[in-house]
Structure 1
Amino acid sequence: MARRCELTGKGPMTGNNVSHANNKTKRRFLPNLTETALMSEALGRTFRLKVSSAALRTVDHRGGLDGYLAKAKDAELSPKALKIKRDIEKAVASA
């Protein structure tokens, strides 16, 4: 599975290790990902997503998964998260 956040789209970045002698070797900066279960209040169930710690703080700030996905751009979301967003929008529209 790719090392990419399903909500924000954060992925690995590249850079250099720089030694005391100023030798440079390539390295990767990996995002801080955790697999967490997030609850959708509109659908009444939980979803397991691979999410970065920064995205988790934003989800809490926006009032849960439903609030986060309502404001999230479709281009940043994974296909799984995009499907959850569509299901939430249908559930809210029908209620």
Structure 2
Amino acid sequence: MAKVCEICGKGVVYGHQISHSNIHTKRKWLPNLQRVRAVVNGTRRRITVCTTCLKSGKVQRA
């Protein structure tokens, strides 16, 4: 399962964690993804959706 929302395409973002002493270490920010049953093209499917799409009503849950 890819860490990408199937509705908006939101995915993993990479960057640096910066400490108080200005040391940069690599890290990644993961989207808040949920597996939900939704109606897609008239059929029920289990899709991976971010919570932003769920809250905004872009997904019709089955």
Which category of TM-score, normalised to the shorter sequence, fits these structures? 0.7 to 0.9
Structure with the bigger percentage of strand: 2
Provide Cα deviations, 1:26-60, integer angstroms capped at 9, x if missing partner. 111111101011246x73x532110000011122x
Rounded to whole Å, the distance in 2 between the matches of 1:38 and 1:51 is: 10
Q: Which has the larger radius of gyration?
A: 1
Aligned length: 60
1:50 and 2:48 equivalent? yes
Gaps of 5+ in 1: 66-95
1:35 and 2:35 equivalent? yes
Gaps of 5+ in 2: none
Rounded to whole Å, the distance in 1 between the matches of 2:6 and 2:56 is: 13
Structure with the bigger percentage of helix: 1
Report the 3-state secondary structure (helix = DSSP H, G, I; strand = E; otherwise coil) of the residue aligned with 1:5.
Answer: coil
Moved over 4 A (4+): none
Rounded to whole Å, the distance in 1 between the matches of 2:28 and 2:50 is: 16
Instruction: Report what 2:8 is aligned to.
Output: 8
**How high is the sequence identity, in percent, across the aligned residues?**
35
Report the 3-state secondary structure (helix = DSSP H, G, I; strand = E; otherwise coil) of the residue aligned with 1:15.
Answer: strand
- Cα RMSD of the aligned pairs, angstroms, is 1.9
Structure 1 length normalisation: TM-score? 0.55
Rounded to whole Å, the distance in 2 between the matches of 1:39 and 1:10 is: 20
